[in-house]
Amino acid sequence: MARHKAEHKMAARMKNGVAEVKVLLSHPMETGNRTDPTTGLKVPRHFIRELVCDLNGETLLQAQWSWGMARNPYVAMRLAEAGPGDRVRCRWTDDRGVEDAMEVVVT
């Protein structure tokens, strides 16, 4: 499977006793409806289909998406049972079989 090369951003910080996790993925999330202004051609649909995030290996979030999610998709969640040093990991795959994974340690 191809691996995605773009930059993703992920942060997990304690705030008021809860770990705030923010995930910003780098992906065009093309709907397939958009016309390229230069070529006049339709830009093919291209989107993340699935995202899974876990905390120390236990699943937190499992998402299935359409192309209706925003470009560079963003997800934020609050983890009541996480603390400093815990690892949050997310991985995604898109409709072309591209995938990537990232990890952050709660601080």
Partner 1 sequence: MRRRDLLKAGLATGSLAVAAKAGLLWPVTVLASDWPADGFSAMSVENAMAILFVGAPIEQSARVQLEAKAIAENGASVPIAIRTDLSGPLLLTLFSASNPTPAVGRFELAPQLGGQLDTRVKMADSGDIIAVVTADGRHFSARRHIQVAAGGCG
Q: Which residue's structure tokens are 């999330």?
A: 29
Amino acid (one-letter) located at 106 = V
- Among 9-17, 69-77, 83-91, 99-107, the segment contacting partner 1 (CB under 8 A): 69-77
| Count, residues in the chain | 107
Question: 103 is written with which tokens?
Answer: 């990890």
Q: Which residue's structure tokens are 């979030």?
A: 61
The verdict on 66 binding partner 1 (CB under 8 A) reads: yes
- The three-state secondary structure class of 49 is strand
- Hey, how many other C-beta atoms are within 10 angstroms of the C-beta on 53? 21
Taking CB under 8 A as the rule, which mask of x and - marks residues 26-65 in contact with partner 1?
---x-x-xxx-------------xx----x--xxxxxxxx
Q: How far is the CB of 61 from partner 1 (least distance, A)?
A: 6
The verdict on 10 binding partner 1 (CB under 8 A) reads: no
- Among 1-9, 76-84, 98-106, the segment contacting partner 1 (CB under 8 A): 76-84
- Among 8-16, 74-82, 84-92, 98-106, the segment contacting partner 1 (CB under 8 A): 74-82
CA distance 56 to 96: 28
Question: 23 is written with which tokens?
Answer: 């995930």
Contacts with partner 1 by CB under 8 A lie at: 29, 31, 33-35, 49-50, 55, 58-82
